[in-house]
Amino acid sequence: MPTQTKTKEGMSFSLNEEQELLKQTIRDFVEKEVKPHAASWDEKEEAPLSTIKKLGELGILGMPIDPKYGGSGLDMLSIALVMEELARGDGSLALTVAAHNGLACGHISNFGSEGQKQKYLPELATGKKLGGWGLTEPGSGSDAASMKTRAIKDGDHWVLNGTKMFITNGSIGETFVILAVTEPEKRQKGISAFIIEKEDKGFKAGKKLLKMGMRSSDTSELILEDVRIPDSRRIGEINKGFINTLMILDKGRISIGALAIGLAQASFEESMKYVNQRETFGKLLKEHDVIRFTLADMAVDIDAARLLIYRAATYACEGKSFTLEASMAKLFSSEMAMRVCNKGIQIHGGYGYIREFPVERYLRDAKLCDIGEGTSEIQRLVISRELFKKYGV
């Protein structure tokens, strides 16, 4: 799978053949199977399970999973390309995939034992089961290390109690990675990760959360009441769960940034169509300089974000550190998507504000990118911390 982004002459700004083919394959799927239905999925506020199943057949639900466990083994740049294309059709569907792939599958793939990989990854890779990932709680999001969910050792078992909040795929998922405190006095160095299955006694999804955007992505609370699981369900070393989580989030941020670009691209494309149809003051909108300049600004903004995402993803492919680059890319892409999607509505005038046109949905969906997997404020904290490290200040 594609990892090559450099030539002898320097950096390449072109995708290779495999990447172009992957992008086109997802685009074709999205045009046929996603775009025509996205508005009605949004209205119903229900995840489109049959389309998610088709994504499984395409290998999209096992993107980061090694082929030996049934996955597609895609590198980070290819995953970013897929995320952008999916979001160009439907942000909610892309978010469903991001949580399943990057968070749940990513955590088990990167830090799970051989036994856990063999048991859980094949079903996740094909989409037979959907995954979710629970870090956030009702009382802790940005300050995730102050979580309250507790895992207490009892012989060769663990007993978990607590509530997780805002969990994507919460009520449709079957395999969850749950972060819980194992040594409270150690804060972030006292948190471990566990695999929880939907059928586990004492585990259930709480109320489904109704949202402003991303409405056909499933979001709910998860409730754990004396959930007793064997130690073989602990992922990685005891107390390393939070440190591992930070690595998962670095990649997750590239995915959310790419998702934001897909939404902005969709808004831009709708705007390009609209300016060729609507007339004001005796000429088409596209003939007004202000409109042309707005479109130019939108295109520049989208491409700048895309380059940041490609850089961060390429660093990840090359095995370089990419925390700073991923946060920069996520921050810029999310805020860019809000700017561009807002302009998309403005270009459509009143029609942009009604649900018959998709541009209002893109803006509602884009707002999540400013919040999920680390808010924009948290990205600025990460970026400034990394900069001080880099400059030795």
Ligand X SMILES: Cc1cc2nc3c(=O)[nH]c(=O)nc-3n(C[C@H](O)[C@H](O)[C@H](O)COP(=O)(O)OP(=O)(O)OC[C@H]3O[C@@H](n4cnc5c(N)ncnc54)[C@H](O)[C@@H]3O)c2cc1C
373 is known as an active-site residue: yes
* CB nearer to ligand X: pick between 284 and 371: 371
Alpha helices in 275-317 (DSSP H): 289-317
Residue closer to ligand X, measured from CB, 318 or 386:
386
Active site residue: 31, 373, 377, 386, which one?
373
* C-alpha–C-alpha distance, residues 329 and 325, integer Å: 6
For residue 354, give every residue at least 6 positions away whose Cβ sits within 8 Å of its Cβ, in sequence order, or none. Answer: 360
Minimum distance from CB of 330 to ligand X (Å)?
12
Task: Look at the block and give the residue holding tokens 């400059």.
Answer: 391
Q: How far apart are CA 313 and CA 143, in angstroms?
A: 26
Compute the distance between CA of residue 49 and CA of residue 255 in angstroms, rounded to an integer.
Answer: 21
Size of the site for ligand X (CB under 6 A): 22
- Choose one: 82-90, 109-117, 132-140, 294-302; the region binding ligand X (CB under 6 A): 132-140
* 135 is a site residue for ligand X (CB under 6 A): yes
Judged by CB under 6 A, which stretch of 126-134, 180-188, 245-253, 339-347 contacts ligand X?
Answer: 126-134
CB of 313 to ligand X, least distance (A): 21
Q: How far is the CB of 216 from ligand X (least distance, A)?
A: 11
> Residue 331, interface with ligand X (CB under 6 A)?
no
Which one of the spans 5-13, 116-124, 131-139, 302-310 is the region binding ligand X (CB under 6 A)? 131-139
99 part of the interface to ligand X, by CB under 6 A: yes
Closest chain position to ligand X (CB): 141
Report in angstroms the alpha-carbon separations of 136 from 114, 133, 146, 189.
27, 9, 10, 17
Residue recorded with tokens 């802790």: 140
- Of 297 and 377, CB closest to ligand X: 377
DSSP string spanning 33-70?
IIHHHHHHHHHHT---HHHHHHHHHTTGGGTTS-GGGT
- CA-based end-to-end distance of the chain: 39
Residue whose pair of structure tokens reads 């009604």 in the numeric block: 354
Among 142, 146, 280, 321, contact with ligand X (rule: CB under 6 A): 142
The DSSP bridge pattern shows strands 175-181 and 131-134 to be parallel
Nearer to ligand X, 211 or 339 (CB): 211
Residue span 349-378 as binding mask against ligand X, x where in contact by CB under 6 A, dash where not: -------------------x--xxxxx-xx
Nearer to ligand X, 19 or 379 (CB): 379
For ligand X, the closer of residues 98 and 275 by Cβ is: 98
∠ Cα 370 342 100 (to 5°): 35
* Sequence-separated (6 or more) residues with CB below 8 Å from residue 233: 116, 158, 194, 195, 196
Q: Is residue 158 within 8 Å of residue 201, measured between CB atoms?
A: no
Question: Contact between 71 and ligand X (CB under 6 A)?
Answer: no
* Spatial contact of 308 and 325, defined as CB atoms under 8 Å apart: yes
* Token pair listed for 270: 């709708």
- Map residue 174 onto helix, strand or coil: coil
Site string for ligand X, 144-183 (x = CB under 6 A): ----------------------xxx---------------
Q: Does 252 bind ligand X (CB under 6 A)?
A: no
Interface residue list for ligand X (CB under 6 A): 99, 132-136, 141-142, 166-168, 211, 214, 219, 368, 371-375, 377-378
Would you please indicate which residues are annotated as catalytic (active-site) residues?
373
